[in-house]
Amino acid sequence: MAYSQEKLVEEKVFKDPVHRYVHVRDRVIWDLIGTKEFQRLRRIKQLGTTYLTFHGAEHSRFNHSLGVYEIIRRIIDDVFDGRPEWNSEQRLLSLCAALLHDLGHGPFSHSFEKVFDLDHEAFTQKIILGNTEVNRVLTKVSKDFPKMVAEVIAKTSPNKLVISLISSQIDADRMDYLQRDAYFTGVSYGHFDMERILRVMRPKEDQVVIKQSGMHAVEDYIMSRYQMYWQVYFHPVTRSAEVILTKILHRAKHLYQKGYQFKHEPIHFYSVFAENITLYDYLKLDEAVILYYFQMWEEEEDLILRDLCVRFMDRNLFKYVEFDPAKEYKKLSELSTLFAKAGLDPEYYLVVDSSSDLPYDFYRPGEEEERLPIQLLMKNGEVRELSRESQIVDAISGKRRTDHKLYFPADLLKDDSSKKNIKKQIRNLLDL
Amino acid sequence: MAYSQEKLVEEKVFKDPVHRYVHVRDRVIWDLIGTKEFQRLRRIKQLGTTYLTFHGAEHSRFNHSLGVYEIIRRIIDDVFDGRPEWNSEQRLLSLCAALLHDLGHGPFSHSFEKVFDLDHEAFTQKIILGNTEVNRVLTKVSKDFPKMVAEVIAKTSPNKLVISLISSQIDADRMDYLQRDAYFTGVSYGHFDMERILRVMRPKEDQVVIKQSGMHAVEDYIMSRYQMYWQVYFHPVTRSAEVILTKILHRAKHLYQKGYQFKHEPIHFYSVFAENITLYDYLKLDEAVILYYFQMWEEEEDLILRDLCVRFMDRNLFKYVEFDPAKEYKKLSELSTLFAKAGLDPEYYLVVDSSSDLPYDFYRPGEEEERLPIQLLMKNGEVRELSRESQIVDAISGKRRTDHKLYFPADLLKDDSSKKNIKKQIRNLLDL
Amino acid sequence: MAYSQEKLVEEKVFKDPVHRYVHVRDRVIWDLIGTKEFQRLRRIKQLGTTYLTFHGAEHSRFNHSLGVYEIIRRIIDDVFDGRPEWNSEQRLLSLCAALLHDLGHGPFSHSFEKVFDLDHEAFTQKIILGNTEVNRVLTKVSKDFPKMVAEVIAKTSPNKLVISLISSQIDADRMDYLQRDAYFTGVSYGHFDMERILRVMRPKEDQVVIKQSGMHAVEDYIMSRYQMYWQVYFHPVTRSAEVILTKILHRAKHLYQKGYQFKHEPIHFYSVFAENITLYDYLKLDEAVILYYFQMWEEEEDLILRDLCVRFMDRNLFKYVEFDPAKEYKKLSELSTLFAKAGLDPEYYLVVDSSSDLPYDFYRPGEEEERLPIQLLMKNGEVRELSRESQIVDAISGKRRTDHKLYFPADLLKDDSSKKNIKKQIRNLLDL
Amino acid sequence: MAYSQEKLVEEKVFKDPVHRYVHVRDRVIWDLIGTKEFQRLRRIKQLGTTYLTFHGAEHSRFNHSLGVYEIIRRIIDDVFDGRPEWNSEQRLLSLCAALLHDLGHGPFSHSFEKVFDLDHEAFTQKIILGNTEVNRVLTKVSKDFPKMVAEVIAKTSPNKLVISLISSQIDADRMDYLQRDAYFTGVSYGHFDMERILRVMRPKEDQVVIKQSGMHAVEDYIMSRYQMYWQVYFHPVTRSAEVILTKILHRAKHLYQKGYQFKHEPIHFYSVFAENITLYDYLKLDEAVILYYFQMWEEEEDLILRDLCVRFMDRNLFKYVEFDPAKEYKKLSELSTLFAKAGLDPEYYLVVDSSSDLPYDFYRPGEEEERLPIQLLMKNGEVRELSRESQIVDAISGKRRTDHKLYFPADLLKDDSSKKNIKKQIRNLLDL
């Protein structure tokens, strides 16, 4: 039998707290889960530093990847199967793309990518196409199968329908992470009637559409997403941890570039610092490795690196105040001067961080990060963009919300003998 | 105001998926949570290698410790407070002991302790009594407060009532971990009506007792515990991972003792190998560090260490068959010879592992690991041991269940050119 | 001890699926629950005819009334108690008003009140103030206590703070019914973080306010309410049952007024029909009684009454089409003529039904049904109306949504020998 | 297309709080749900008087019947379909039997049947085979289909496999009601991993068997059942309501037999009292009708009937003490004499009520109410009875637990002017 069609003798199930069970019947999927590169996702947290705010959020990207796969499997096997618009040959492609879509994530991705100018999506492509176990499994399906999977994930595939399953404003990725992150953090947001949404999804030529009768479930999903962004993903304490993490990586890179002699050689980081990282090196970077170095750096000579690492490991984070960049740039500059005078390098100890989200948007071609809007399938067969039908969604559509905060180490600004006066000025400016 | 009585200006809450919220009002508790040693528990998984079987089980001991604290807080503040048998001066002592009871756990405790002959309870004592941030916080309460807390955890305290809150056959520790582990693994066992049990707990001179009207809730708790042991804690796949982990540590220690030259110096391990580990060294050992070394050791020259590390990291575990030590010792010895002949050191590649649990027991003085039995408070004021009242509990009381399995690398026993014949004999013996 | 202060020897608990437990410690509350008039609420469904759409919605107003009481109890005992703005003498008043606020509801209230021009709120007042067991219990507290409770429920009390607990745009009534109705119907809407909302409620002079930090939980509550209205309360199938119910009552009243001789004397209805119902008669009307008559009327001579009763009992409901009264009044008039020609009295068999909801509104004095808007307590102590702070709420604030449908018995419009032609015309007009 | 094969154009779903959704695709099932006789189940509570103890337990048999159908549908469509041991022609038969298995239940079945010597199973047969809408639907499948369905429900069918799906010690009936009753009462018992159990069910020649790997889930189910019996179904307060209900019916029958002239003619009851009830009459009896009469009888001249009806309607129940019939028969006789002297007819006011349950049993042919034991399918293909494999189940297997209580109206035994002395003696004997 062709490898692509091969079924396991007995279905395998993973107990999953969000979807109850994840079911695997396809040999290809089973083999992919067993690869070194996929197992590595167990060592990368789904929500980065969020566990320092919501202690339950310790779940990994392995968790989430299985979940996305399971949602796609249900859509295809329980809803799309047998419909004329659905080509069953796309089934395996969709399942593989779902399972592997986050494969290239590095440790604490967000900060890591920002500091070292890396792109996890590029690494997903490299892992699928490079010399890896994942690639060897996919190649067994057919020679050009890795490329097909990679293109779906990169959204360059001609197969628009499959792309929209994996990546749109209501895709399996979002449906899994909202529920999963809600489950592990324990917040009461993030719930919506996914079973209902799955049942009303319909394949169309270029995109998945949603039967009109499911509109309210979709509204609920959009509100869940909005709440999760502001209540969980952009939580100011998480952002504080993110700020410190970013500054640690900055400092280490800076020290390396200055020729600083590390007590403990950061061998895993050399190629990252030097900006010539290979796939092999990249795959060695997981969160255990990062935390190992942070522990070692707690004993480095450089006081800034040391302090920041101690802060991160012991969760002694920065405090924050609201900040309006348009109106308060002068104050920021003043503060910057005062921090320097107080012996606190403002580059590391006075940080503006911004969050911004668009709860839903209709299509605006050419804008960054645009994702396909949600299309409703009306009773008469017509397709209409969601915000034209839903009063609630229309009300929030296209309304970007942005929030800025200023982070700093409040514990170092207390009244003490040295720099007493300067610190008092700082505290006054910060309204502490 | 005395530090022991100090309250936070605004109550702090932790969002907890199991108890909804963990509430902190006491300054002492807040300060303890902020210590370096307590934050370290974030880097130690509650269930060790279980995440390799149940992918949701990635939660840390930090999680669980907060949960035990919260349960004790509710018992005291919502149920015991104001009852004549309860001395409110024991409140802070109970809360601190609850929070800190697992403080000494090391990475993958079970295997780690076995291989290196360490005892996490001893380290809990050392952290509380030694030169640590935790000790400094406790000492602020009073000079002998650290000792009092340590004695409760060690069960040597004269305060039997508080000990029984933290450690009996129905204590806050068990009530938290059963529910928490069920939540994170996603299994449907582990649920019982804790709210009901808390409401019927009553302080007595020497022990917490349970009002008779709560007997059925307690029965349900005992059955939950039984199911969690056999369905989750003793899951054979988890045990397989545990076997490999243990063998990695054994091998590394063995190599060290033989004077093997590690490519990558295991500096964190030297004092462990040499069996003279200090508290300072111990606190540096967390699961990030362990996983870091396992990654490094994937490239060691020693083939056994290397193979086992690759297996653990990539979750390529051993398979197993049921094994009856009483009847099959001969077969084991035969297999051992054959493994050696096949080039597989039986010390590392043929492992018997046993699990054993006693779902409930009445008191049997002098036996190891005895925990206080559960006492019911009858309507007439009498106290009766649970199994005398509950038919169900009586039926299972004192019945130990034991299970043995034989673990081996099935992938290395396949039919291939080398050692073809010997491997066939092995497979026959193992019924593969 | 004063009756108002009397506590039960042992707290009583009701197992409640929504709030886990309802706790009663006050003798007054316990006695009120035991009254004839309160127990009568067990025979009146919380959601009227909704059980014909969502089969789980069979819960009674007894259920809900206990829930509202429990929420108020938690707000007062766990959050307000001890705050200077809270006068503890209002506790019992609040609890009683919460428990009794729905006491006057009749069977299938909505339709019943409409047809017979009754007002359940007036009956709540009469029960509290009249010759009832409830009144006797309340009078034991003090002579004017019944009046105080009645005024809170009627919103005429000078005690604005207590009124706002029971009746505002975020009151205990709504918080209970949203969750309870979601639970019993099984829909995934209706969930919000009530525990969080309770924790951030604060008493102010004239109104309960919500700490700003709870704004997102409130947004979620408002969205839940919106979804419950359109997904559950206004469900077109429920409305169809409501239409039939209303028409049954109309027909029976009409027949009575025409002097029709009922086979089975509707003794319970005479005073209702005659519009001179006493409190004593009213309290005898519950849903068992109504269903008893509907069964009896299935065998009346009058064909319309008979048909409608059979429909209701056997759930053979009317079908519907969307209807725009502004544009389609002409079509309605045409249909009306055709129905009459087809032998279907349009008064009973062609019914326009409208639903309308305002998800949230800021204060518009003088408008009907206005409820207090939600006020946020800002960090600086200022109070701000919710829609000024929440982008989401602002987007939907004051936006009324209305929906009209036209109901008719599709099963009687099928192509059959008699009136073939007329029915075809009707089907064409209705797009069947 | 044959009626038996007809599918609905669009699948219908019922929102169900226990199974999320109940799915109907078969025209036959849809038509059965729409019959008068099936809709009647909405007016009969699943748990009789339990709602007077657990206020959430107001759900109807309609609810439960849909649930049993859905479980069977899942077993057949998701697990059995395609297996050689499963004959797909049994599908519709199984679904119909599942849906209709409780069709003959009368109002407050237990008491009603006891007093009037009726049998709901006989009525289920009569409804299926008699002149009913249900019979007309089934007959459309084939002339002998009603008989086939009736035989499955009566367990006289040659089709043992289908019988065991509907009725064994682990059947769809029990799996639904345990979960459903737990859900509506809100108790924490009643949960078990049904999804797991369904997945390991296998059809065998004569019986459904359970794969050994699901044994722990089955143990959990058995414990859930045990807890539900003692915590919910046999709750002493529910039994008190049952006692009163039974005595009302007894009294009314007794009065009828004595020629008592009822103020309000109990027309619905005449044929019941006279023991010649027809199917037509039986189907008119629902709980609305019963409650209507109880209300009317609150105003009868007979003081006993009147008092008992007021008690039931206002939930003024009897109190109870534990009672040991073997040891206390003398005391009972003494009490009986004293009650008579005190003017309380012991026939109605002093009632012994017993409950008894067998949590699990292996097969004991010939015993009443025997149900098929649970069979495990071992890895080697062998079938073994559960208690031989499960230590826990073995421990409780065959152990019947019985409990007796003595009920009486404590409120009438208080110290008052009349019969002061006798009542004191009674109170002493009862330990009040």
Give chain A's domain count.
Answer: 1
Residues D180 and D211 occupy one common structural domain: yes
Give pLDDT, residue D244: 98
Q: Does C216 touch chain B (CB under 8 A)?
A: no
Tens of pLDDT along D315-324? 999 999 999 9
Smallest Cα distance from C358 to chain D, Å: 26
Whole-Å CA distances, C149 to A288, C33, C144, C174:
62, 15, 9, 19
The strand order across the sheet containing A383-385 reads: A201-203, A208-211, A375-377, A383-385
Provide the mean pLDDT of chain D: 94
Q: Does A403 touch chain C (CB under 8 A)?
A: no
State the DSSP string of A140-194: HH-TTHHHHHHHHHHT-SS-HHHHHHHSSTT-HHHHHHHHHHHHHH--S-S---H
**Structural domain containing residue D208:** 3-233
In angstroms, rounded to a whole number, what is the distance separating the alpha carbons of residues A180 and A172?
12
Smallest Cα distance from C309 to chain B, Å: 45
Residues B120 and B64 occupy one common structural domain: yes
Smallest Cα distance from D192 to chain A, Å: 13
Which of A77, A78, A196, A216 is best to mutate for the D interface (most D CBs within 10 A)? Answer: A196
Angle (CA) A235-A240-A241 rounded to 5° is 100
In angstroms, rounded to a whole number, what is the distance separating the alpha carbons of residues B376 and B378?
6
Residue D158 has phi, psi (to 5 degrees) of -70, -15
Give pLDDT, residue C365: 53
Q: Which amino acid is at A317?
A: L
Residues D154 and D196 occupy one common structural domain: yes
Q: Does B380 touch chain D (CB under 8 A)?
A: no
Q: Which band of pLDDT confidence, cut at 50, 70 and 90, is reported for residue A221?
A: very high
Residues B423 and B347 occupy one common structural domain: yes
Secondary structure of C210-230 as H, E, C letters: EEHHHHHHHHHHHHHHHHHHH
Length of chain D in terms of residues written: 432
Residues D247 and D221 occupy one common structural domain: no
8 Å CB contact of D42 and C55:
yes
pLDDT at C369 over 80: no
pLDDT at D367 over 60: no
Give pLDDT, residue A365: 52
Burial tier of A45 (Cβ tally within 10 Å: 0-12, 13-18, 19+): buried
Q: Does D235 touch chain C (CB under 8 A)?
A: no
With CA atoms as reference, the chain D residue closest to C185 would be: D17
Q: Does D20 touch chain A (CB under 8 A)?
A: yes
Q: Which chains touch C (3 or more CB pairs under 8 A)?
A: A, B, D
Q: Which band of pLDDT confidence, cut at 50, 70 and 90, is reported for residue C358?
A: confident
Residues 295-324 of B with CB under 8 A from A: 295, 313-316
Q: Which amino acid is at C230?
A: W
End-to-end distance of chain B based on CA atoms, in angstroms?
A: 71
Query: What is the CATH classification number for the domain harbouring C259?
Result: 1.20.1250.30
Residues C194 and C252 occupy one common structural domain: no
Tens of pLDDT along C132-164? 999 999 999 999 999 999 999 999 999 999 999
Give pLDDT, residue B370: 61
Tens of pLDDT along A267-311? 999 999 998 999 999 999 999 999 999 999 999 999 999 999 999
**Three-state secondary-structure class, residue D17:** coil
- Considering only residues A265 and C66, tell me which one the structure prediction assigns the higher pLDDT: C66
In angstroms, rounded to a whole number, what is the distance separating the alpha carbons of residues D287 and D144?
33
Q: Does B206 touch chain C (CB under 8 A)?
A: no
Tens of pLDDT along B114-144? 999 999 999 999 999 999 999 999 999 999 9
In angstroms, rounded to a whole number, what is the distance separating the alpha carbons of residues C343 and B194?
63
Smallest Cα distance from D119 to chain C, Å: 24
Give pLDDT, residue A411: 95
pLDDT at D363 over 90: no
Domain boundary among C185, C209, C233: C233
Report whether C289 contacts C314 (CB < 8 A). no
Report whether D103 contacts D125 (CB < 8 A). no
Give pLDDT, residue D190: 82
In angstroms, rounded to a whole number, what is the distance separating the alpha carbons of residues C268 and C265?
9
Give pLDDT, residue A277: 94
Question: Considering the domain boundaries, does residue A389 fall inside one?
Answer: no
- Paired tokens of D42: 């909405």
Domain boundary among C233, C249, C280: C233
Taking residues D210-238, report their average pLDDT.
93
With CA atoms as reference, the chain D residue closest to A19 would be: D195
* D413 alpha-carbon distance from chain centroid: 34
Report whether D121 contacts D153 (CB < 8 A). yes
Look up residue B319 and give its DSSP letter.
E
Q: Which band of pLDDT confidence, cut at 50, 70 and 90, is reported for residue D364?
A: low
Element (H, E) at A351: strand A351-357
Q: Does D188 touch chain B (CB under 8 A)?
A: yes
Q: Does D287 touch chain C (CB under 8 A)?
A: yes
Question: Considering the domain boundaries, does residue D132 fall inside one?
Answer: yes
CA atoms within 13 A of residue C356's CA, in its CB half-sphere: 8
Tens of pLDDT along C291-349? 999 999 999 999 999 999 999 999 999 999 999 999 999 999 999 999 999 999 999 99
Element (H, E) at D313: helix D303-314
Give pLDDT, residue C261: 96
Look up residue D405 and give its DSSP letter.
E
Question: Considering the domain boundaries, does residue A92 fall inside one?
Answer: yes
Question: Considering the domain boundaries, does residue D365 fall inside one?
Answer: no
8 Å CB contact of C392 and A391:
no
**Three-state secondary-structure class, residue B128:** helix
Query: What is the CATH classification number for the domain harbouring A125?
Result: 1.10.3210.10
Domain boundary among D218, D233, D248: D233
CB atoms within 10 A of CB B99: 24
Residues D12 and D126 occupy one common structural domain: yes
Give pLDDT, residue D151: 97
Residues B170 and B309 occupy one common structural domain: no
Give pLDDT, residue A86: 95
Tens of pLDDT along C197-217? 999 999 998 899 999 999 999
8 Å CB contact of C17 and D286:
no
Residues B9 and B42 occupy one common structural domain: yes
In angstroms, rounded to a whole number, what is the distance separating the alpha carbons of residues B37 and A314?
8
In angstroms, rounded to a whole number, what is the distance separating the alpha carbons of residues D173 and D181?
12
Give pLDDT, residue A191: 86
**Three-state secondary-structure class, residue B24:** strand
* D40 alpha-carbon distance from chain centroid: 16
Taking residues C401-425, report their average pLDDT.
90
Residues B378 and B283 occupy one common structural domain: no
Whole-Å CA distances, D198 to B425, D78, D202, D384:
39, 9, 9, 18
Task: Single out the residue of A241, A291, A276 nearest to residue A107, CA to CA.
Answer: A291
Report whether D364 contacts D370 (CB < 8 A). yes
Give pLDDT, residue A432: 86
Smallest Cα distance from A247 to chain D, Å: 47
Provide the mean pLDDT of chain A: 94
A177-181 own/partner pairs: CB under 8 Å, 24+ apart:
A177/A46, A177/A64, A177/A67, A178/A221, A178/A224, A178/A225, A178/A228, A179/A18, A179/A67, A180/A18, A180/A46, A180/A59, A180/A63, A180/A64, A180/A67, A181/A46, A181/A47, A181/A50, A181/A57, A181/A228, A181/A232, A181/A233
pLDDT at D366 over 80: no
Report whether C6 contacts C26 (CB < 8 A). yes
Chain C residues near residue D17 by CB distance under 8 angstroms: 56, 183-186
Give pLDDT, residue B363: 61
| % chain D with pLDDT above 90 | 84
In angstroms, rounded to a whole number, what is the distance separating the alpha carbons of residues D332 and D340?
12
Q: Does A83 touch chain D (CB under 8 A)?
A: no
Give pLDDT, residue D372: 84
Give pLDDT, residue B364: 55
Question: Considering the domain boundaries, does residue B209 fall inside one?
Answer: yes
Report whether D134 contacts D38 (CB < 8 A). yes
Give pLDDT, residue B400: 84
Give pLDDT, residue B171: 95
Task: Single out the residue of C18, A179, C179 nearest to residue B17, CA to CA.
Answer: A179
Place of tokens 């809170």: C152
**Three-state secondary-structure class, residue D24:** strand
Report whether A393 contacts A223 (CB < 8 A). no
**Three-state secondary-structure class, residue C352:** strand
Taking residues A366-386, report their average pLDDT.
82
CB atoms within 10 A of CB A259: 6
Question: Considering the domain boundaries, does residue B424 fall inside one?
Answer: yes
Give pLDDT, residue B116: 94
Q: Parallel, antiparallel, or unpaired: how do β-strands D375-377 and D351-357 relate?
A: unpaired
Report whether D103 contacts D60 (CB < 8 A). no
In angstroms, rounded to a whole number, what is the distance separating the alpha carbons of residues B300 and B261?
10
Residues D25 and D161 occupy one common structural domain: yes
pLDDT at A417 over 80: no
Residues B392 and B334 occupy one common structural domain: no
Length of chain C in terms of residues written: 432
In angstroms, rounded to a whole number, what is the distance separating the alpha carbons of residues B321 and B408?
9
Question: Considering the domain boundaries, does residue C391 fall inside one?
Answer: no
Report whether C100 contacts C134 (CB < 8 A). yes
Taking residues A65-73, report their average pLDDT.
98
Task: Single out the residue of A174, A182, A176, A175 nearest to residue A56, CA to CA.
Answer: A182
Q: Which residues of chain B have pLDDT under 70?
A: 363-370, 417
- Considering only residues A373 and C364, tell me which one the structure prediction assigns the higher pLDDT: A373
Give pLDDT, residue D369: 54
**Three-state secondary-structure class, residue C384:** strand
Q: What is this model's ipTM?
A: 0.95
Question: Considering the domain boundaries, does residue A336 fall inside one?
Answer: no
Task: Single out the residue of A255, A221, A212, A136 nearest to residue A376, CA to CA.
Answer: A212
Element (H, E) at D201: strand D201-203
Task: Single out the residue of C43, C55, C19, C17 nearest to residue C232, CA to CA.
Answer: C55
Alpha helices (H) along D75-214: 90-100, 109-116, 120-129, 133-141, 145-154, 160-166, 172-185, 194-200
